[in-house]
Amino acid sequence: MTSGRVLAAGDEFVSSELLERALRDQLGDGPEIRTLDLPWPTTPWSEVAEVVEAAGDEDTMIAALDGVQAAVTHLAPFTARVFAHAPDLRLVVVSRGGPVNVNLRAATDAGVLVCYAPGRNANAAAEFAVGLILATCRNIATGHTELAGRHWPGHYFRYESAGFELRDSTVGLVGYGAIGALVGRLLAAFGARVLAYDPKAAPEAFGPEAEQVDDLGELLARSRVVSLHARLTPETRNLIAAAEIAQMPSGSVLINTARGGLLDYEALCDALDEGRLAGAGIDVFPEEPPPPGSRLFSTRRLVMAPHIAGCSREVAQRAARICADEVARWAEGRPPASPANPDVLRT
């Protein structure tokens, strides 16, 4: 790309500096790169017009896109109104596993190709899921909380309060895509028996480290730990509710690092308060951040993290490189690696 204008709309995680550096590595000094800094996560993401999980506003984007042919971003909102006011735009690349901050129909109608970055945070999310399992099963997080409160928690050496090891434990994975499969390999290295349930996965997706289970109820009944890694769709919303939790063995552990909507959190709190579950670890919530009066804050044996499973420095760097590579492919007339609206390519 020897000329033209590219917008790098970064934020405090995938910064405009990272995006610009990756673009220069791919495109050289030819195109003009305009940068825009968005205030996420200092300012939480939100709905912007018809798109979700977005940072910034439509007017700022319209001004920044003046004369721009290609834009790369993490969270900037690309709404129907934005596309209507960006006549030169031909490519948007979102450095996320799904471009939920882009109106894909409006992009397609405007003839704008949208690409995204599947798998950019798979390793980070998999490592974090295993870490959350360990923190929950071995009382790491709850032990820290008590000790930080200047109380020596000697009760963890009582047999009924002691944690359990992953070795020889059965761990059930609900969802076996890129992240779930990595979690399975990591758990297998601990010596765990891994079960995996994913009705949308091809049979060849299940390697030797995981036993494919076709029935969710069977996986729940056999697992000492259940970890959620499914995508949130209308079919999977509240996939794990009171009836499903009741199928888990007494004293088992439930982990959710996928999406808050997969799990009925009232049912989870009930199971923890009643002692049917030994513990739970969650990194995602039905509402983020949870409201101050949420029952989650008063439920015992619950380990919580603020939706950071997919957050690492390597993820931000990898995301910037993926974006820049897609711009280079577009500039050179090569097929995109991950198009979200491939119908644009056929028009």
Q: What is 224-278 written as a DSSP string? A: SEEEE-PPP-TTTTT-B-HHHHHTSPTTEEEEE-S-GGGB-HHHHHHHHHTTSEE
Q: What is the pLDDT of residues 257-293, one digit of tens each?
A: 999 999 999 999 999 999 999 999 999 999 988 999 9
Q: Please check whether residues 62 and 170 belong to one and the same domain.
A: no
Q: Please check whether residues 244 and 107 belong to one and the same domain.
A: no
For residue 110, give both structure tokens. Answer: 């405007």
Q: Please check whether residues 155 and 294 belong to one and the same domain.
A: yes
Q: Which of 304, 323, 338 is the last residue of a domain?
A: 304
Sole residue written with tokens 């204008």: 5
Q: Please check whether residues 158 and 239 belong to one and the same domain.
A: yes
Q: Please check whether residues 138 and 259 belong to one and the same domain.
A: yes
CA distance 171 to 194: 5
Pairing of strands 46-48, 32-37: unpaired
Q: Which of 175, 82, 280 is nearest to 71 (CA)?
A: 82
Which residues have C-beta within 8 Å of that of residue 110, sequence separation ≥ 6? 83, 84, 86, 89
Q: Please check whether residues 143 and 233 belong to one and the same domain.
A: yes
5, 85, 231, 307: the catalytic one is: 307
> Residue 277: its pLDDT value, please?
98
Q: What is the pLDDT of residues 32-59, one digit of tens each?
A: 999 999 999 999 999 999 999 999 999 9
pLDDT at 3 exceeding the cut of 90: no
Q: Please check whether residues 242 and 266 belong to one and the same domain.
A: yes
**What type of residue is 301?**
R
pLDDT at 296 exceeding the cut of 90: yes
288, 313, 332, 334: the catalytic one is: 288
Catalytic (active site) residue 85? no
CA distance 198 to 174: 6
Query: If residue 115 lies in a helix (H) or strand (E), which one and from where to where?
Result: strand 113-115
pLDDT at 202 exceeding the cut of 90: no
Q: What's the mean pLDDT in 13-28?
A: 97
Q: What is the mean pLDDT of the chain?
A: 96
> Residue 166: its pLDDT value, please?
97
What CATH number corresponds to the domain at position 50? Answer: 3.40.50.720
Q: Which of 270, 286, 304 is the last residue of a domain?
A: 304
Q: What is the pLDDT of residues 95-139, one digit of tens each?
A: 998 899 999 999 999 999 999 999 899 999 999 999 999 999 999
Q: Please check whether residues 253 and 325 belong to one and the same domain.
A: no
Q: What's the mean pLDDT in 166-175?
A: 98
Give the Cα-Cα-Cα angle 286, 289, 294 (nearest 5 degrees).
70
Ramachandran angles phi, psi of 282, nearest 5°: -135, 140
**Tally of domains in the chain:** 2
> Residue 332: its pLDDT value, please?
95
> Residue 194: its pLDDT value, please?
98
> Residue 2: its pLDDT value, please?
56
120, 259, 318, 321: the catalytic one is: 259
> Residue 300: its pLDDT value, please?
93
Beta-bridge partners for 253: 225, 279
Q: Which of 247, 234, 97 is nearest to 172 (CA)?
A: 247
Q: Please check whether residues 129 and 81 belong to one and the same domain.
A: no
Catalytic (active site) residue 167? no
Q: Please check whether residues 131 and 242 belong to one and the same domain.
A: yes
CA distance 332 to 129: 39
Q: How many helices (H) and strands (E) does the chain have?
A: 11, 14
Q: Please check whether residues 329 and 293 belong to one and the same domain.
A: no
Spatial strand order in the sheet of 210-212? 210-212, 193-197, 170-174, 225-228, 252-256, 277-282, 302-304
Q: Are 50 and 71 in contact (CB under 8 A)?
A: no
pTM assigned to the model: 0.90
- Structural domain including 232 reads 122-304
> Residue 1: its pLDDT value, please?
57
What is the DSSP secondary structure assignment for residue 296, as one 8-state letter? G
Q: Please check whether residues 268 and 337 belong to one and the same domain.
A: no
Catalytic (active site) residue 307? yes
